[in-house]
């Protein structure tokens, strides 16, 4: 038996205990993990420094997602404490009804079971995904990228030790240390042990998982996010939203990648916006009509309209009206997060109803697409598919339901 199969089998056994764990037991374990993360912060940060040193040749966007510091580690610990305060979704009765024959039916939340999580960089995600999985009564099998292997080892050892000390199975959190493509491919075949697989990372990773996994997949999405500036929009508001959505963290999936500007306001908005973007170090790319206003903008071809830059790069395209903006987003976007800036309530309603994204905004930055910010307590990823979960994957999204039917001896005629 290989390492991947052995760890999945251990997680399966642990999930049988986790699904029956009391809320108080799970909360005690989460608080113990928070305490352990603080106590072992030096070792975790030292492991992260080793990862950073080994990743010196990687792109800046990868190294930014990889890096941990004291503040981020403290935030990790606080995240476990926050999730401990959230209501336990397991056992919640979603609906009750009674049939004419007297049968009483309840729809009840239950854990998914074993969650496999394949992801890149970001060791903070290791902790966040684990906290949500444990509180929702699941076991989790983590397979991070090779760039974060030392950080992930240190984090998982810390969590396993705290779990064992609190009375829950240490095997409820597993780390696949084989970071090769073969290791990931093997994990994708573990249908007999794993109930659901969640990929989080770039488009290539997600596509590989969706195309090759034998396990049911909750598909998270790349973030080719848009802001559309409507005719008559408050241009100061539009500029503020665009700069926030692009600059606060350019390397994440909810960062702005493309701006659509109504042709009637382009000449007023773009020169000032361009200067501010340039000053912030952003490379501006534009369609032909954009470049008639911004002559120094780099040309943008159609293929780039599909691109998630994850960098200090932004594309700008002029459109005729809100309907053209909607059509563009639905064609080129990734169904993640898209915004309209407008004073027109009719256009806002049309945009909100017809843009096919998991998060559609009116007069707000796309950067709010985040489980913690939206009040989920955290997230395993942002689901851009339609089945089971859409948007931030939080505690409730890591459960499914079953029907409990109570009778008094009824038989079907």
Which sequence spans correspond to the domains of the chain?
A: 3-220+380-406, 225-368
| Cβ neighbour number for residue 31 with a 10 Å cutoff | 18
> Domain 225-368 is classified in which CATH homologous superfamily?
Aldehyde Dehydrogenase; Chain A, domain 2 (3.40.309.10)
In this prediction, residue 114 carries a pLDDT of 98
The answer to whether residue 237 scores a pLDDT higher than 80 is: yes
- Count how many Cα atoms sit within 13 Å of the Cα of residue 353 in the half-sphere of its side chain: 7
Q: What confidence tens digit (pLDDT) does each residue in 301-320 have?
A: 999 999 999 899 999 999 99
Q: Which of 70-74, 95-99, 248-252 has the lowest mean pLDDT?
A: 248-252
Q: Is the pLDDT of residue 204 over 90?
A: no
Residue 1 has pLDDT above 70, yes or no: no
pLDDT of residue 386: 85
Burial class (CB in 10 A: 0-12, 13-18, 19+), 185: middle
Average pLDDT in the 232-258 region?
A: 96
Q: How many CA atoms lie within 13 A of 245 on its CB side?
A: 31
Residues 6 or more apart whose Cβ sits within 8 Å of residue 71: none
What is the percent of the chain where pLDDT is above 90?
89
Q: Where are the alpha helices (DSSP H) in 201-265?
A: 203-212, 235-247
What pLDDT, on a 0 to 100 scale, did the predictor assign at position 75?
94
- Please tell me what DSSP assigns to residue 87: P
Q: Between the CA of residue 289 and those of 53, 262, 263, 320, 378, what are the distances in Å? A: 44, 11, 9, 11, 41
Q: Any bridge partners for residue 283, and if so which?
A: 313
Per-residue pLDDT averaged across 163-168, rounded? 97
Confidence (pLDDT) at 351: 98
Contact indicator for 83, 393 with CB cutoff of 8 Å: no
What is the reported pLDDT for 106? 98
pLDDT at 214 over 70: yes
Q: How many beta carbons lie within 10 A of that of residue 112, not counting itself? A: 23
Distances (CA, A) of 4 to 138, 194, 208, 237, 360: 18, 11, 18, 51, 39
Q: What is the pLDDT of residue 365?
A: 98
Computed over every residue of the chain, the mean pLDDT equals: 95
Contact 369, 382 (CB under 8 A): yes
Share above pLDDT 70 across residues of the chain, in percent, rounded to a whole number: 100
User: How confident is the model at residue 92, as a pLDDT?
Assistant: 97
- Tell me what the mean pLDDT of segment 332-355 comes to: 97
Burial state string for 360-370 with b = 16 or more CB within 10 A and e = fewer than 16: bbebbbbbebb
Residue corresponding to tokens 């848009």: 226
Q: Write down the pLDDT at residue 34.
A: 98
Task: Tell me, yes or no, if the pTM score tops 0.85.
Answer: yes
Nearest Cα to Cα of residue 227 among 369, 383, 373, 361: 361
Residue 201 in this model has a pLDDT that exceeds 90: no
- Tell me, what's the pLDDT at 388? 85
Burial class (CB in 10 A: 0-12, 13-18, 19+), 107: middle
Residue 165 predicted with pLDDT over 70:
yes
What CATH superfamily is the domain 3-220+380-406?
A: Aldehyde Dehydrogenase; Chain A, domain 1 (3.40.605.10)
CA triplet 244, 248, 254: central angle to 5 degrees? Answer: 80
Question: For the residues of 295-349, what is the DSSP string, one character each?
Answer: TTSEE--GGGGG----SSEEEEEEESSHHHHHHHHHHHS-SSEEEEE-S-HHHHH
* DSSP SS3 for 404: strand
Tokens of 301: 């071809």
Spatial separation of the C-alpha atoms in residues 402 and 405, rounded to whole Å: 10
Confidence of residue 222 (pLDDT cuts 50, 70, 90): confident
Query: Helix, strand or coil for residue 174?
Result: strand
Residue whose tokens read 């008094």 = 408
What is the tens place of the pLDDT at every residue in 356-399? 999 999 999 999 999 989 999 889 999 998 888 899 999 999 99
pLDDT digits (tens, 9 = 90+) for 86-128: 999 999 999 999 999 999 999 999 999 999 999 987 899 999 9
Task: Output the pLDDT for position 35.
Answer: 98
Indicate if 225-368 has the same CATH topology as 3-220+380-406. Answer: no
**Residue carrying the six token digits 């038989």:** 411
pLDDT grade for 212, boundaries at 50, 70 and 90: very high
């Amino acid at each position: 038996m290989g390492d991947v199969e052995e760890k999945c089998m251990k997680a399966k056994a642990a999930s049988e205990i986790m699904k029956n764990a009391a809320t108080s037991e799970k909360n005690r374990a989460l608080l113990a993990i928070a305490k352990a993360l603080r106590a072992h912060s030096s070792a975790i940060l030292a492991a992260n420094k080793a990862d950073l040193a080994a990743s010196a040749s990687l792109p800046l966007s990868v190294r930014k997602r990889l890096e941990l510091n004291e503040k981020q580690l403290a935030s990790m610990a606080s995240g476990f404490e926050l999730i401990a305060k959230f209501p336990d979704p397991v056992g919640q009765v979603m609906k009750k009804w009674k049939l004419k024959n007297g049968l009483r039916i309840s729809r009840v939340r239950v854990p998914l079971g074993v969650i496999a999580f394949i992801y890149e960089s970001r060791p903070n995600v290791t902790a966040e995904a684990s906290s949500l999985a444990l509180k929702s009564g699941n076991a989790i099998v983590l397979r991070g990228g090779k760039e974060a292997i030392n950080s992930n080892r240190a984090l998982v050892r810390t969590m396993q030790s705290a779990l064992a000390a609190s009375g829950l199975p240490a095997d409820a959190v597993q780390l696949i240390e084989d970071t090769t493509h073969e290791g990931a491919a093997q994990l994708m075949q573990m249908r007999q042990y794993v109930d659901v697989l969640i990929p989080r990372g770039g488009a290539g990773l997600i596509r590989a998982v969706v195309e090759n996994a034998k396990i049911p997949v909750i598909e998270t999405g790349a973030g080719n996010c848009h802001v559309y500036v409507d005719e008559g929009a408050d241009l100061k508001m539009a500029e503020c939203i665009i700069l926030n959505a692009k600059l606060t963290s350019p390397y994440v999936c909810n960062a702005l990648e493309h701006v659509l500007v109504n042709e009637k306001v382009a000449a007023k908005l773009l020169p000032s916006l361009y200067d501010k973007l340039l000053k912030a170090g952003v490379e501006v790319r534009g369609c032909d009509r954009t470049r008639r206003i911004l002559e120094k903008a780099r040309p943008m071809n159609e293929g780039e309209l599909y691109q998630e830059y994850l960098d200090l790069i932004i594309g700008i395209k002029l459109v005729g009206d809100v309907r053209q903006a909607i059509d563009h987003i639905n064609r080129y976007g990734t169904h993640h997060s898209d915004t309209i800036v407008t004073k027109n309530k009719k256009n806002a309603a049309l945009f909100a109803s017809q843009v096919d994204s998991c998060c559609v905004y009116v007069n707000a930055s796309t950067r709010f697409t985040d489980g913690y910010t939206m009040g989920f307590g955290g997230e395993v990823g942002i689901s851009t598919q339609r089945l089971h979960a859409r948007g931030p994957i939080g505690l409730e999204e890591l459960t499914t339901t079953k029907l409990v039917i109570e009778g008094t001896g009824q038989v079907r005629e």
